[in-house]
Amino acid sequence: MSLESRVSSWLDSQAIDQETKESIKTLQSKNQEELTESFYKDLEFGTGGLRGIMGVGSNRMNKYTIGMATQGLANYLNRSFPNEEIKVAIAHDSRNNSRFFAETTAAVFSANGIKVYLFESLRPTPELSYSIRKLKCKSGVVITASHNPKEYNGYKAYWDDGGQLVPPHDKNVIDEVNKISSFDDVKFNGNYSLIEIIGEEIDKQYIDVLKGLSLSPETIAKESDTKIVFSSIHGTGIKLVPRVLEAFGFKNVTVVSEQAEPDGNFPTVVYPNPEEAEAMSLALKKAAEIDADLVMATDPDADRVGIAAKNKNGVFQLLNGNQTGTLLIYYLLKKWQENKKLDGKQFVVKTIVTTDLIKRIADHFKVTSYDTLTGFKYIAELIKELEGKSKFIAGGEESYGYLVGDSVRDKDAVASCAMIAEMAAWAKSEGLSVFDLMENIYRQFGFFLESLKSITRKGKAGAEEIQEMMVKFRKEPPSSLGGSKVVKLIDYQSSTEKDLATGKEKPIDYPKSNVLQFFTEDESKISIRPSGTEPKIKFYFSVNTKLDDSESVDEVKAKLDSKINTIISDLGL
């Protein structure tokens, strides 16, 4: 459909309100470039749902694009569960329009005869995942754009296991959404007798479940005064993280007051993303003021957490997502072992772009380690597949998302904050700082250093440029990187692994995904992946070496940093 046809379909539709039509006419007369960006395509309902800039138009997050998505999901639910009561749960974050979008979603579901549990106010994404299983829902939706800038919002769809949609449901829902050709097909007028407001009762149950994850209550009792600084970065974390920390027994938690109020404009940060040092700056300042032991901050929907602690020089230093995941899984496996809970029937999971240091640790504890594609839905799918056969301990991804236990089926920063705090308290009881523990792990298992380089290319032209980059790397793979020969190429789009020395290929058992990985003789790993939720292409670098007792962490890190910089240069970035 042409741009003009899309614009006309909105202006001519009886279902579109007059205010929206006036906004479109204003764009026609005053901002043709924005009109093009708003209508040049339909906002794609992908395998995770919707995410985009808020505004009028087919390529924007608004009442109508959300209505079509919900109608498609409702159609699929009604087709999948005939003659059954269908229930869904809906939550939302602190972003602008999130409550309105959540209520719109609830209205459409209820208009299709579906029972809706709608949270009374903002709630963390992991609580939505928990509530789906607790309330025996067939599906669920959370309105969030995670850590994207304030202009964005999103719509994440879940299935009855509490995980995001995976095959075949993801493609089937997409097909149903794509069948909707007119806003007249969307039932916007809700049946409010089918909408039930939920809140505190689910909060209490969820907190009790998370409290049951604790492995060292006696250590927390001993170290209950551990100084913790927490920031919710204007998001949903404020609802539950302080309460869960208190439930675990931590008595000295300082909340960053400037960022405690939920606010979709995120006034104190450029990006509400704990991966960004700038977003953590107020928390680090507070930590320095009170001489804290641990700093934690969650993103707007509280599924990701960033942490910081004092390094050997007494300066607060951020840890990256790989380091936090390593510390967390090391602690969990060590305590499971000490508590004599390991019997060979447990497993951990990480994504293909997450540090392989986690696999080395799992191997040491004789715990099975699995790799999945990027996206927590794949971890959730594996948990479901192995249910009753093997016990899930924890999983994580380098982008600051972790899950402990299987009551939730998406990354959970609320649980992670509690368990990270427990890990730090345990280290303190052993006379170690968080960084001392990290160094001990490096010396035992090897020093792994990871880095991420993201290149942003916005709009239609940017999307095309990103695809051209992937085509080039497939056609012309590098022969060496960082001074080491490239020996293996894995292409997850063609589901093949190629030995570059012999040219032999073999199939790999992963879902198809637009990801490339290069492996070198010295065990460096370089992964290239266009983001599925942002206008970015991401380059992941992982290098490693032994860390002898005679070497300092700083010296070896400098060498590995230099190696990553050489690889970046070799790739022409």
pLDDT digits (tens, 9 = 90+) for 94-127: 999 999 999 999 999 999 999 999 999 999 999 9
Instruction: Flag whether pLDDT at 23 surpasses 80.
Output: yes
Q: Which residues of 35-55 are buried (b: 16+ CB within 10 A; e: fewer)?
A: bbbbbeeebebebbbbbbbbb
Are 250 and 383 contained in the same domain? yes
Q: Write out the two tokens for 131.
A: 């509530």
The pLDDT of 401-424, averaged and rounded, is: 98
Task: Quote the pLDDT of residue 48.
Answer: 79
What residues contact 495, with CB distance under 8 A and at least 6 apart?
Answer: 507, 508, 509, 510, 512
Is residue 25 assigned to a domain?
A: no
Are 315 and 302 contained in the same domain? yes
> CA end-to-end span of the chain, whole Å?
36
8 Å CB contact between 140 and 89: yes
Are 192 and 212 contained in the same domain? no
Instruction: Flag whether pLDDT at 481 surpasses 90.
Output: yes
Q: In which band, very low, low, confident or very high, does the pLDDT at 533 lie, cut at 50, 70 and 90? A: low
Is residue 498 assigned to a domain?
A: yes
Are 392 and 243 contained in the same domain? yes
Task: Quote the pLDDT of residue 366.
Answer: 97
Of the residues 410, 445, 480, the one at which a domain ends: 445
Residue 399 CB neighbour total at 10 angstroms: 25
Are 469 and 527 contained in the same domain? yes
Helix (H, G, I), strand (E, B) or coil at 91: strand
8 Å CB contact between 364 and 143: no
Tell me, yes or no, if 146 is annotated catalytic.
Answer: yes
Are 462 and 552 contained in the same domain? yes
Task: Quote the pLDDT of residue 308.
Answer: 98
Cis preceding-peptide flag for 168 (omega within 30 of 0): yes
Instruction: For residues 215 and 423, give the distance between their C-alpha atoms in angstroms, rounded to a whole number.
Output: 9
Residues counted in the chain: 573
Are 432 and 353 contained in the same domain? yes
Q: Which residues of 407-446 are buried (b: 16+ CB within 10 A; e: fewer)?
A: bbbbbbbbbbbbbbbbbbbbbbeeeebbbbbbbebbeebe
Is residue 3 assigned to a domain?
A: no
Is residue 6 assigned to a domain?
A: no
Instruction: Flag whether pLDDT at 362 surpasses 80.
Output: yes
Helix (H, G, I), strand (E, B) or coil at 442: helix
- Catalytic entry in 94, 98, 110, 146: 146
Is residue 20 assigned to a domain?
A: no
Q: In which band, very low, low, confident or very high, does the pLDDT at 522 lie, cut at 50, 70 and 90? A: very high
Specify the pairing of strand 228-231 against strand 253-255: parallel
Q: Which residue has the tokens 């004789």?
A: 366
pLDDT digits (tens, 9 = 90+) for 132-181: 999 999 999 999 999 899 999 999 999 999 999 998 999 999 999 999 98
The average confidence (pLDDT) of the chain is 95
Of the residues 417, 445, 473, the one at which a domain ends: 445
Percentage with pLDDT > 70 across the chain: 99
Are 416 and 532 contained in the same domain? no
- Which DSSP string do the residues of 265-318 spell out, in sequence order? T-TT-SS--TTSGGGGHHHHHHHHHHT-SEEEEE-TTSS-EEEEEE-TTS-EEE
Are 194 and 234 contained in the same domain? no
What Cα–Cα distance (Å) separates residue 205 from each residue in 127, 140, 199, 350?
A: 10, 18, 10, 28
Amino acid occupying residue 257:
S
What's 170-216 look like in SS3? Answer: HHHHHHHHHHCCCHHHCCCCCCHHHEEEECHHHHHHHHHHHHCCCCC
Task: Quote the pLDDT of residue 199.
Answer: 98
Of the residues 165, 180, 198, the one at which a domain ends: 198
Q: Which residue has the tokens 């539709």?
A: 13
8 Å CB contact between 539 and 528: yes
Task: Quote the pLDDT of residue 46.
Answer: 82
pTM: 0.94
Are 441 and 369 contained in the same domain? yes
Structural domain range at position 231: 206-445
The CATH number given to whatever domain includes residue 368 is 3.40.120.10
Are 178 and 307 contained in the same domain? no
Q: In which band, very low, low, confident or very high, does the pLDDT at 496 lie, cut at 50, 70 and 90? A: very high
Instruction: Flag whether pLDDT at 532 surpasses 80.
Output: no
Is residue 24 assigned to a domain?
A: no
Residue 197 CB neighbour total at 10 angstroms: 11
Is residue 28 assigned to a domain?
A: no
The pLDDT of 239-262, averaged and rounded, is: 98
pLDDT digits (tens, 9 = 90+) for 557-566: 999 999 999 9
Q: Which helix (H) or strand (E) holds 33?
A: helix 32-39
pLDDT digits (tens, 9 = 90+) for 282-336: 999 999 999 999 999 999 999 999 999 999 999 999 999 999 999 999 999 999 9
Q: Write out the two tokens for 11.
A: 């202006």
Is residue 296 assigned to a domain?
A: yes
Total domains, the chain:
3
Instruction: For residues 431 and 106, give the distance between their C-alpha atoms in angstroms, rounded to a whole number.
Output: 51
Are 512 and 457 contained in the same domain? yes
Task: Quote the pLDDT of residue 235.
Answer: 98
